[in-house]
Amino acid sequence: MRFLLDTEQRAFADTLDTMLTAADTPAVVRDWSRGEHTSGRALWRRVAEAGVFALAVPEAYEGLGPRPVELAVAFVELGRHAVPGPLVETVTTAALLTALDDTGPAKRLLPALASGESTATLAVGPYALDADLADVRLAVSGPSELRLTPAPGGPHRPSLDPARRLFSPPPGGEILATGPQVTTATAVALTWARLATAAQALGVGLALLDRTVTYVKQRVQFGVPIGSFQAVKHRLADAKIALEFARPLLLGAALTMTERDVAAAKVMACEAAYTTARTALQLHGAIGYTAEYDLSLWLTKARALRTAWGSPDECRAALLRGLSGDRPW
């Protein structure tokens, strides 16, 4: 037992962090929210070149994976920098196509996802994220039909996170796979989606905590930094506790990839990020409530990720469903 990231994994996180810090992601997020995707596409290619999407794609399909631990490490950094786009959906698509019995769709579509040449989105529920720009648009309809859907015809619905653009998948399109293999593969894909979303949420929470700690050290009221007030300190301490306990849960989930561990990580990372978002908003005061201030990019994402790919209640239910008399862990 050695429950620590190794040197290479930590260096991978640092490399991504450095690259994304230099990329001025807040400006990219704002472009993306307006439907201007050029800067976002450029950033996407750099994320792909760093190998992030290849981590979800097996070597047989020109990827480097499946490597869920490194993927979780990467998604923490993507969340920390609020990188926009169908990130989780691309990874989930890779997991789904890999898990089908029929290898045709994987051979056809996965190499381009691994390299970053194409992006993918996937609707299992009502919405497909960023379907207007995704190159591969999948929809699971009913329990057992996987379709490549046409480009969306209508406008998108706005998300509480302006950087997330929600499209209803149109009917029709090519049927890629049918039968029980779709049900099985969707369950596998859901585990990957929850892991990646949990990691992204943890990164969002860590960024919110960092920015808020910096702010309360600088903001002076009553002649002293507000960060010297115990009421302020204790809210931030609680956010720190929540995030630091979500972190090992995420790493454990990436190692075991069991439905139960991944569901637990999704609940705790998303709850921690959301708690931190509430604290960040409160401690920033009115400036935090503005769209103009960059904090909003993370505040709104913490809310959206909470229900993406399984609400806290759905994840708790998934965790409880498999319980029997044995030790749960």
Partner 1 sequence: MTVDLAHSPADEAFRAEARTWLRAHVPAVPLPSLETEEGFAAHRAWEAELAADRWSVVSWPTAYGGRDAGLIRWLLFEEEYYAAGAPGRVSQNGINLLAPTLFDHGTEEQRARVLPPMASGEVVWAQAWSEPEAGSDLASLRSRAVRTDGGWLLSGQKTWSSRAAFADRAFGLFRSEPDTPKPHQGLTYLMFDLRAPGVTVRPIGRLDGKPAFAELFLDEVFVPDEDVIGEPGQGWRVAMSTAGNERGLTLRSPGRFLASAARLSELWQAQGRPHSTSERVADALIGARAYQLFTYAAASRFLDGASIGPESSLNKVFWSEYDIALHETALDLLGPEGEPADTDWAEGYVFSLAGPIYAGTNEIQRDIIAERLLGLPKGRR
Candidates 104, 111, 109; CA nearest to 122 is 109
The answer to whether residue 225 forms part of the interface with partner 1 (CB under 8 A) is yes
The answer to whether residue 222 forms part of the interface with partner 1 (CB under 8 A) is no
> Helices 25-33 and 38-49 sit at what angle, rounded to 10 degrees?
130
Return the amino acid letter for 224: V
The answer to whether residue 314 forms part of the interface with partner 1 (CB under 8 A) is no
The answer to whether residue 55 forms part of the interface with partner 1 (CB under 8 A) is no
d(CA 20, CA 5): 21
Which stretch, 40-48, 75-83, 230-238, 287-295, contacts partner 1 (CB under 8 A)? Answer: 230-238
Instruction: Rank residues 94 and 236 by Cβ distance to partner 1 and give the closer one.
Output: 236
Instruction: Rank residues 188 and 213 by Cβ distance to partner 1 and give the closer one.
Output: 213
Q: Which H or E element spans position 121?
A: strand 120-123
Number of chain positions touching partner 1 (CB under 8 A): 50
Q: How far is CA 290 from the centre of its chain?
A: 24
Q: Rounded to the nearest whole angstrom, what is the least distance from the CB of residue 68 to partner 1 in the complex?
A: 11
Q: Which H or E element spans position 26?
A: helix 25-33
The answer to whether residue 211 forms part of the interface with partner 1 (CB under 8 A) is no
Please pick, from the candidates 9, 144, 181, 307, the single residue that binds partner 1 as defined by CB under 8 A.
9
Please pick, from the candidates 35, 126, 171, 248, the single residue that binds partner 1 as defined by CB under 8 A.
248
The answer to whether residue 268 forms part of the interface with partner 1 (CB under 8 A) is yes
d(CA 167, CA 151): 10
The answer to whether residue 229 forms part of the interface with partner 1 (CB under 8 A) is yes
The answer to whether residue 1 forms part of the interface with partner 1 (CB under 8 A) is yes
The answer to whether residue 205 forms part of the interface with partner 1 (CB under 8 A) is no
Candidates 59, 65, 29; CA nearest to 195 is 65
* Cβ count within 10 A of residue 192: 25
d(CA 299, CA 308): 15
For the chain, first and last CA: distance in Å?
Answer: 15
| Positions that interact with partner 1 (CB under 8 A) | 1-6, 9, 69, 209, 213, 216-217, 224-225, 227-230, 232-234, 236-238, 240-241, 244-249, 251-252, 255-256, 261, 264, 267-268, 313, 316-317, 319-320, 323, 325, 327-329
